[in-house]
Amino acid sequence: MILLHLAKSGFKAKGFLSAKDFFDFLSDNIPDLIVLDLMLPDIDGLEICKSLKSKTDYSSIPIIILTAKGDETDKIVGLELGADDYMTKPFSPRELIARIKAILRRSSFQESNKKITINNEIIIDSNRYEVFVGKEKIKLTSTEFKILELLASKKGYVFTREDILNYLWEHDKVVTDRTVDVHIKHLRDKLGKAGKIIKNVRGIGYKIEE
């Protein structure tokens, strides 16, 4: 059904019944986006998400998790692993298509941006979805990257937690402020000493301060 609706909307899509077939496909192909079910016959979908986000070649691919699991904890785990969006069954195919288009538009916008430099130390390359601290390439999940890019887009501007949530997951109101804080912590840890540029404005949100 999903493939049918994607085709009607002008997308080129391919479906897989198992994780093995999916990973075999990825060895020679890099899709623009992945719709990932959690309930799979061979490997849990969250494990697939975690695996993808841990690999440089695949970490920047947007992922929409689609599942019958509607528990808030499952949603938070999926998003913290780096998924870009989360839909529960039953769902509207039209809404799924709308979310896919929104994520792809956001990715297209990012690709048109130039490099952002912070303190002559951190370089954010939106075209390549890469971040460097000095000459060291830092491995970030797509969510961590988007948070850093958002904060860097207006240096000194305070983004509220709600601003960040709306930018990342505008459709899913179940995601909590805690999720933002967890991603910020991971982001700071990965940036090492350079992570001090991300400042917490108590009771409001975060900003980048050079």
Domain spans, the chain: 1-112, 113-210
CATH number assigned to the domain with residue range 1-112, chosen from the 4 options 3.40.1790.10, 3.40.50.11540, 3.40.50.300, 3.40.50.2300: 3.40.50.2300
Provide the pLDDT for residue 126: 79
Provide the pLDDT for residue 17: 87
Provide the pLDDT for residue 108: 62
CA distances from 81 to 9, 48, 53, 62, 91 (A): 29, 10, 7, 12, 22
Contact 22, 41 (CB under 8 A): no
Provide the pLDDT for residue 178: 78
Provide the pLDDT for residue 175: 56
The string of DSSP letters for the chain reads: -HHHHHHHTT------SSHHHHHHHHTT---S-EEEES--SSS-HHHHHHHHHTSTTTTTS-EEEEES---HHHHHHHHHTT-SEEEESS--HHHHHHHHHHHHHHHHHHHHS--EEETTTEEEETTTTEEEETTEEE---HHHHHHHHHHHHTTTPPEEHHHHHHHHHTT-TT--HHHHHHHHHHHHHHHGGGGGGEEEETTTEEEE--
pTM exceeds 0.85: no
Provide the pLDDT for residue 158: 92
Provide the pLDDT for residue 196: 93
Name the token pair of 96.
Answer: 């799924």
Provide the pLDDT for residue 193: 92
10-residue mean pLDDT series, the chain (210 residues): 91 91 90 89 88 84 82 73 84 90 73 74 84 91 89 90 81 63 92 94 90
CATH number assigned to the domain with residue range 113-210, chosen from the 4 options 3.40.50.300, 1.10.10.10, 3.60.20.10, 3.30.420.40: 1.10.10.10
